[in-house]
Amino acid sequence: MPSIDPSAPPTTPLRTAARYALSGALVFAGLSHLFWAREDFQAQVPRSIPLDPDGVVMASGGVEIMLGVGLAVLPRDRVRIGRLLAAFFVAVFPGNIAQYRNKRDAFGLDTDRRRFVRLLFQPVLAAWALWSTAVPNRR
């Protein structure tokens, strides 16, 4: 199915809906990094990173907002943005591992089991980014 922008790679309605949903989730998460959940996100910053945890949270929130907006408004670049987003999800995964290993409570993740289950969602996010932005195979 052709996309609205004739110069954009082809996609499908389901991939487009998934991309917009991911875009909205990223913008929401990015804003929460900057405003109401800054302290919770600081629990995910590994202590081994020699930077101010609040600065890391603010920067990663800004990146999430930019990637989310890009997914929504740059259809010609969506494949590239999807790959960048998947790489971003991989890059922040050590923070989720640090939260689990250091037993840091945040976002209602107040048990080892909940923190571990959270780890399983990161690959799903990376796959979502890649699938929703990919050019579908022709059959």
Longest dimension (CA), the chain: 50
Three-state secondary structure call for residue 99: helix
Which of 48 and 67 is assigned the larger pLDDT? 67
Residue 75 within any structural domain of the chain: yes
> Residues 119, 42, 106, 17: is their CA dihedral positive or negative?
negative
Taking the mean position of all CA atoms in its chain, how far away is CA 76?
20
User: What's residue 86's pLDDT?
Assistant: 98
Residue 101 within any structural domain of the chain: yes
User: What's residue 31's pLDDT?
Assistant: 98
Residue 24 within any structural domain of the chain: yes
Confidence of residue 137 (pLDDT cuts 50, 70, 90): confident
* Residue pLDDT, tens place only, 37-64: 999 999 899 989 999 999 999 999 999 9
> Residues 44, 62, 25, 134: is their CA dihedral positive or negative?
negative
Average of per-residue pLDDT values in the chain: 93
**Letter for the amino acid at 21?**
A
Range of the domain at 38: 13-131
Residue 6 within any structural domain of the chain: no
Tally of domains in the chain = 1
| CA neighbor of 99 nearest in space, from 122, 77, 83 | 122
* Residue pLDDT, tens place only, 10-35: 999 999 999 999 999 999 999 999 99
Confidence of residue 4 (pLDDT cuts 50, 70, 90): low
Residue 126 within any structural domain of the chain: yes
Residue 139 within any structural domain of the chain: no
| DSSP at 106 | B
The answer to whether 95 and 109 are in contact (CB under 8 A) is: no
The answer to whether 57 and 33 are in contact (CB under 8 A) is: yes
Computed on alpha carbons and rounded to an integer, the radius of gyration of the chain in Å comes to 16
pTM comes to 0.89
